Structure 1
Amino acid sequence: MTRWVVRILRPLLMLITRRDWQGAEKLPQGGYVLAPNHISHVDPILLAHFMVDHGVTPRYLAKDTLFDVRLIGAIVRGAEQIPVHRSTAGAAESLRTAVESVQAGQVVTIYPEGTITRDPDLWPMSSRTGAVRVALASGRPLVPLAQWGAQDMLWPYSKRLRLLPRKTIHVHVGDPVDLTDFEGLELTEDLLHRATDRLVDALTAMLGEIRGELPRGARFDVRTLERPRSTLPDPTTNTEEH
């Protein structure tokens, strides 16, 4: 993917995008987990542009189904992307490969949500635990990355690509998420979910700064792909006994 982006896509992206890239100085040395929000099918390419220009080889934890798609499969295999077999025994093997890669000094990009957000306003959903699990298992930093603008080029789950007028692509790198209070503990599901909530809180706050607004309502659930219903009583209902 690196050669592909540099030789073919980078010149095109330089022409059709404006770039608001901030926080690259926060990228650690050596291996780490890069954890971005996911808003469009084109944002992996736009993030790869950011990474290449900052000396980072793009390597994603990608859905295994992509490896079977003609052309795309050849690209992701040639770029040594890591297939993840979700909801199968192969998922654990994918994460082991990711841990080994990070420990070997590579940067592995893992979308915490595992899919494009279904929130109508494109805020991060509650997320899967893979990014946190790899960071804690490898002992390497977990770096949040908030992005915005790719949805103007290709709206989520849309097929209509809008290249003009030029879109501004915002990519902001945050400080590594502090996971020191979880280090050395058994990686239980409860611990992983609490640590993942911390990551998503950081991503949401960073995205809020880019957008100049805050999310409304509860966070979409990545498992049900719906917004949880409020557990508060309906204020229009009178529950007092007469």
Structure 2
Amino acid sequence: MSQVEQARPPRWRTRRPVPPALGLCVAVVYPVASLVFRLRYRHADRIPPTGGVLLVANHVSVLDPLACARLVWDSGRVPHFLAKDTVFAGLAGTILRAAGQIPVSRGSSAASSSVHAAKAALDAGDVVVIYPEGSVTRDPDWWPMQARSGVARLALTTDALVLPVAQWGPQRVHDYHTKRLHLRLRAPVDHLVGEPIDLSEQRARVRAGAPLSGELLREVTDLLMTRVRDQLGELRGERPPAQFHPRPAGRALPGDLPGNAA
């Protein structure tokens, strides 16, 4: 065991307190993810035991949150996901909100509330998981498509550690492109947690009064997603494409973050 691993406090301690709603979510998600996925982590110890962390991940399946939630939980932290507000209806929505999950509203006066809530969570020292593509990638080979820039707003306006995460495998169970569910047990799923992304220069520019212009947001968004894309190439043992797959034109996609400058 490395010195870094020895220095980490017990996971049960870094996850406290666990409210009842979160405990219920864990009781459901943990065994389901264990049955459906055979999870394999690379460098999960890069997720620190304390402090605000923004996990930036690629999106290959609607089942991604199940697998990524296990990654964060198994690392001794509690995940807070941004999810479509339609998921927060009824009793399930009440439980998700009480568990600290963050609804994403679109097309309303509350459209920016999700970004503010995510920022507040990061400032409070929580782990926030975001899929900047806003929806499962439309790339036929599952490489990332062009991302929305809400992730850059969060990265530039907080002091949170920003970690790129590549994930590969959930699409084997649910193929979003064909809308088919391939029921199987213990499908292999890999996560690669990258080194923290240094945004000190860009953050200094913002603190000095530079506006959050579309150019700056696009620069940071592409920087983050390039790291994620390159790590995905490492996981897959393939060379990633040089460009991001374009987003479908003329319409929003499910899960798009509001208030973004594309």
Name the TM tier (shorter chain). 0.7 to 0.9
Question: 1:191/1:108 Cα in 2 relative to 1: closer, same or farther (>3 Å)?
Answer: same
SS at match of 1:51: helix
Could you say what secondary structure the match of 1:138 adopts? Answer: coil
- Quick check: 2:36–2:186 contact (8 Å CA) kept in 1? yes
Q: CA deviation at 1:5?
A: 4.7
CA distance 1:151–1:75, change in 2 (3 Å): farther
Match of 2:81 among 60, 64, 81: 60
Q: CA deviation at 1:161?
A: 2.6
Question: 1:131 aligns to what?
Answer: 151
**C-alpha separation in 2, matches of 1:22 and 1:116:** 22
Q: Residue by residue, what CA displacement relative to the aligned partner does 1:157-209 show, whole Å, maximum 9, x if unpaired? A: 55533232531110111112121220132221110110000001001000000
Instruction: Tell me how far apart the structure 2 counterparts of residues 136 and 179 of structure 1 sit (CA, whole Å).
Output: 8
Letter in structure 2 aligned against 1:50: L
Greater displacement, 142-151 / 13-22? 13-22
Structure index of larger Rg: 1
Residues 163 and 194 of structure 2 are in contact (CA less than 8 Å); yes or no, is this contact kept in structure 1? yes
Aligned match of 2:234: 209
Structure-1 separation of matches of 2:185 and 2:35? 11
What secondary structure sits across from 2:163 in the alignment? Answer: strand
Q: Secondary structure at the match of 2:231?
A: helix
Change (3 A) 1:72 1:123: farther
- Name the CA distance, whole Å, in 2 between partners of 1:223 and 1:19: 31
- Aligned sequence identity (%): 39
Alignment length, in residue pairs? 225
The equivalent residue for 1:26 is 46
Query: What CA distance in whole angstroms lies between the structure 2 residues aligned with 1:12 and 1:38?
Result: 19
| Structure 2 stretches lacking a partner, 5+ long | 1-20, 252-262
Structure-2 change in CA distance of 1:67 and 1:15 (3 Å): closer
Instruction: Tell me the SS of whatever aligns to 1:41.
Output: coil
Query: Does the Cα contact within 8 Å between 1:51 and 1:58 map onto a contact in 2?
Result: yes
Q: Which moved more, 1:192-201 or 1:80-89?
A: 80-89
Equivalent position SS for 1:60: strand
- For the aligned residue pairs, the C-alpha RMSD in angstroms reads 2.2
Q: Does 1:43 align with 2:64?
A: yes
In the TM superposition, residue 56 of structure 1 has moved relative to its aligned partner by 1.5
Which region of structure 1 is more displaced relative to structure 2, 53-62 or 90-99? 90-99
For 1:151, the equivalent position in structure 2 comes to 171
1:148 alignment partner AA: W
Question: In the alignment, is the contact (CA less than 8 A) between 1:2 and 1:58 conserved in 2?
Answer: no
Q: Contact 1:32 / 1:106 at 8 angstroms: preserved in 2?
A: yes
Cα offset, 1:131, TM superposition: 1.6
Q: 1:72 to 1:17 in 2, by over 3 A?
A: same
How far has the Cα of 1:106 moved from its partner? 0.9
Quote the offset at 1:71 in angstroms: 5.3
User: Aligned partner of 1:191: which letter?
Assistant: L
1:41 & 1:4 partners in 2: Cα distance?
21
1:13-63 C-alpha deviation (Å, 9 max, x unpaired): 324422211111111331121111111111111111121111121211111
Distance 1:173 1:31 in 2: 16
The 1-side partners of 2:242 and 2:135 are apart by 20
Calculate the TM-score normalised by the size of structure 2: 0.78
- TM-score, normalised via structure 1 length: 0.84
Q: Aligned partners of 1:122 and 1:182: how far apart in 2?
A: 30
From 111, 120, 124, the equivalent of 1:104 is: 124
Distance 1:223 1:161 in 2: 23
Q: Distance in 2 between matches of 1:91 and 1:24?
A: 33
Task: Return the letter of the residue paired with 1:119.
Answer: D
Taking the aligned partners of 1:222 and 1:86, their CA distance within structure 2 comes to: 18
